[in-house]
């Protein structure tokens, strides 16, 4: 079974631009979560989608948004990019959406975003 | 507020020695505790998941324990190898599939 895939793997943008990242979960998984990883802040939760609905959101500004499609694929968008948005963006998929004890999460390889 | 701490931030051991990695969390109402491995510039690889109703979980040379009363989890890696060099992260699972991560422990196994 294929793992979580993320595209593109690398992106270079300039301040003020916007960017869209894509995540395809493991087949059959319906929950997709997004995380930002930076050297200073570590891994931080952005948001989680289940059945095309955002159910949980981290403490990030409104410039960060996302959506999930009917096939469970997800995209996240960052508008008006700032230098501090440079990070590794990771998505994770899991089978269930109700936070069950055995709901293991599997991560993709990430998208490395550099903002110049 | 959920907080997860991993101490030390880095450690170096000779090959063959057992590794002991610590993780502390503040929320006793956790759903599960998951351990991950991350190689430089890569994504996270899930190692073990311990459900809140379990005390430990084992996979090959890896064993993880969970003590909710003290807010601690420990990952043991037996007979370490240079290929075990990586950053190890623990994460507390909560409602809505949200994971709260520790800062990680960077491990170097010297041949």
Which distant-in-sequence residues (6+ apart) come within 8 Å of A108 by Cβ?
Answer: A3, A4, A5, A6, A23, A90, A91, A92, A93, B43
**What does each C-alpha distance from A41 to A36, A87, B110 come to in angstroms?**
9, 10, 28
Return the pLDDT at A98.
67
Strand partners, B46: B36
Q: Which of B43, B46, B53 sits opposite A101 (nearest CB)?
A: B53
Per CB distance under 8 Å, which residues of A are interface residues toward B? Answer: 4, 6, 31, 33, 35, 42-45, 48, 50, 55-56, 58, 88, 90, 92, 94, 97, 99-110, 112
The reply to whether residue B36 touches residue A45, judged by beta carbons under 8 angstroms, is no
In order along its 111 residues, chain B shows pLDDT tens digits of: 789 999 999 999 999 999 999 999 998 788 899 999 999 989 999 999 999 999 999 999 999 999 999 999 999 999 999 999 999 999 999 887 899 999 999 999 999
The reply to whether residue B49 touches residue A42, judged by beta carbons under 8 angstroms, is no
pLDDT in tens, A46-61: 999 999 999 889 999 9
Give the residue from chain A lying closest to B31, CA to CA: A101
B11 at interface of A, judged by CB pairs closer than 8 A: no
- Cβ neighbours of B104 in A, within 8 Å: 42
- Total length of chain A: 116
B49 at interface of A, judged by CB pairs closer than 8 A: yes
């Amino acid at each position: 079974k294929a793992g979580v895939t993320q595209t593109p793997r690398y992106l270079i943008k300039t301040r003020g631009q916007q960017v869209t990242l894509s995540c395809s979960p493991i087949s059959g998984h319906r929950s997709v979560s997004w995380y930002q990883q930076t050297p200073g802040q570590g891994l931080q939760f952005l948001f989680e989608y289940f059945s095309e609905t955002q159910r949980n959101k981290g403490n990030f500004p409104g410039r960060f948004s996302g959506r999930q499609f009917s096939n469970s694929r997800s995209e996240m968008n960052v508008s008006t990019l700032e230098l501090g948005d440079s990070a590794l963006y990771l998505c994770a998929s899991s089978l269930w959406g109700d936070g069950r004890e055995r709901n293991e999460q599997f991560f993709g390889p990430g998208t490395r975003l550099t903002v110049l | 507020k959920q907080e997860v701490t991993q101490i030390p931030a880095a450690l170096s051991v000779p090959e063959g020695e057992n590794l002991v990695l610590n993780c502390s969390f503040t929320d006793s109402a956790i759903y599960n505790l998951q351990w991950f491995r991350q190689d430089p510039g890569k994504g996270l690889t899930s190692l073990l998941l311990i459900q809140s109703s379990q005390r430990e979980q084992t996979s090959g040379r890896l064993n993880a324990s969970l003590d909710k009363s003290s807010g601690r989890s420990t990952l043991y890696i037996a007979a370490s190898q240079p290929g075990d060099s990586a950053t190890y992260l623990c994460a507390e699972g909560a409602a809505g599939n949200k994971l709260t991560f520790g800062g990680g422990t960077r491990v170097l196994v010297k041949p």
